[in-house]
Amino acid sequence: MAKILIFSVLAHSFFCITIAFGPIPLQDLCVADPTSSTRLNGLPCKDPAAVKADDFFFSGLHVPGNTKNPYGAALTSMTVAQVPGLNTLGLSLARLDLDPNGFVPPHSHPRATEILTVLQGSLEVGFITSYPDNKHLSKVLNQGDAFVVPVGLLHYQRNVGKGNTVVLAAENSQNAGINVVPKGIFGAKPAINSDYLARAFLLNKISWNSSRLSSRDD
């Protein structure tokens, strides 16, 4: 009986190992083909014979983004949309520019963990753990500092320095996705019931309408 039990445990362990997921690509490259009508988790692969060096190239991270907006912030993205060679590789990059007092509203990335590295200036970054703890963890970063934001958690960034702040953000997804709380909630189409939102956010109707009008102006 003991031998049978040991055999069952070993067999179960072996079975679990054989079905474990490995994110390693099964070919050297899979350059995205945005013209294909095929639908899958990612983009179909371009014919390898048609692949060129420019499929893996991006230029522009040295150029400051346009921060002339209500947030005083700009994002220059390097995802699979800009670099087809990132397809299936689980990686993307972005430059974040913030004016003095510039900020990024609370948001989350449903498909990626993020690493933020400050290249210039000072940045406060924070995230909030999930219910029921809702613990707020934040840190002020200076040039050369880095901070990790776990996948899916609400987080924010704001410039707390006297000058411009420049940040390099890396994510372990070719398309991390983003859910911006104010725009998602108050800018939903069709609109979410205003009475419900006022109650959910513990607001009166007047302040809710003001927030909604502000989000439409962005």
Helix (H) / strand (E) element for 216: namely helix 205-217
The reply to whether 136 sits in an annotated binding site is: no
Is 107 labeled as ligand-binding? yes
- Is 155 annotated as contributing to ligand binding? yes
pTM: 0.79
Q: Mean pLDDT over residues 205-213, rounded?
A: 56
pLDDT grade for 1, boundaries at 50, 70 and 90: low
Give the pLDDT mean for 182-205: 90
pLDDT (average), residues 157-166: 98
Which structural domains are found in the chain, ordered by start? 60-177 (2.60.120.10), 186-217 (no CATH)
Whether pLDDT at 195 is above 60: yes
- Name the residue with higher pLDDT: 2 or 199: 199
**Would the pLDDT of 147 be above 80?**
yes
Residues 76-125 pLDDT 10s: 999 999 999 999 999 999 999 999 999 999 999 999 999 999 999 999 99
Greatest CA separation for the chain: 74
Rounded to the nearest integer, the mean pLDDT of the chain is 86
Q: Residue 139 above 70 pLDDT? A: yes
Antiparallel, parallel or unpaired: β 103-108 and 154-159: antiparallel
Taking only the tens place, the pLDDT of each residue in 8-59 is: 544 444 444 434 444 667 778 889 998 888 867 778 999 999 999 999 999 9
Separation between Cα atoms, residue 62 and residue 120, nearest integer Å: 12
Structure confidence at residue 38 (pLDDT): 81
Check residue 99 and give its pLDDT. Answer: 98
12 in a labelled binding site: no
